[in-house]
Amino acid sequence: MGCSTCKQKKEKQKVNDDETLEINFVPKSIQENGLENGSFAFKLIAFLVIIIALPLVLSVLIVQMFLHFFLPKSLPNVSKGFKNFFVGLLNRYGKYRHNKEVRKRKRQFEKNLGYEGDSELVNDTDYEGDSELNDIEVHENNNDVKK
């Protein structure tokens, strides 16, 4: 017995108590075993990436353990050498990219004749005889305008 609003409140409380918070980090289409929406391709690529990454991570950890156990005094020198090697590698790559961009720009503008006095690009005769330009007054300071 009781009113319908009380019954609805009790039903909602029962439903809320039974439900748990579920956060899906992976979409439902990928969780299911269907071949639609590229879920199979996604799973295959993820599997291959993990298979490739695991040996690399394990080899790095094994080398680190070896260095820590057997060569603890030379560890700073070895890590410094690795750091210098990778920084040098990045610097060489940056220099290569810069030189490549400079060569590209040189090729792009090598046919440009320039703006020297005897160049084709500078032609003073185009503007000398133009009567429209003679009527314009040019002021050094724009605030000094004749009224």
Tens of pLDDT, residues 124-141: 555 555 556 666 677 677
CA distance 81 to 79: 5
Query: For 23-65, what is each residue's pLDDT tens digit?
Result: 777 766 666 665 566 667 788 898 999 999 999 999 999 988 9
The model's confidence at residue 74, banded by pLDDT at 50, 70 and 90, is confident
| Higher per-residue pLDDT: 48 or 74 | 48
CA distance 106 to 79: 41
Asked if 115 and 122 count as a contact pair (C-beta separation under 8 A), the reply is: yes
Cα dihedral across residues 59, 64, 70, 76: positive or negative: positive
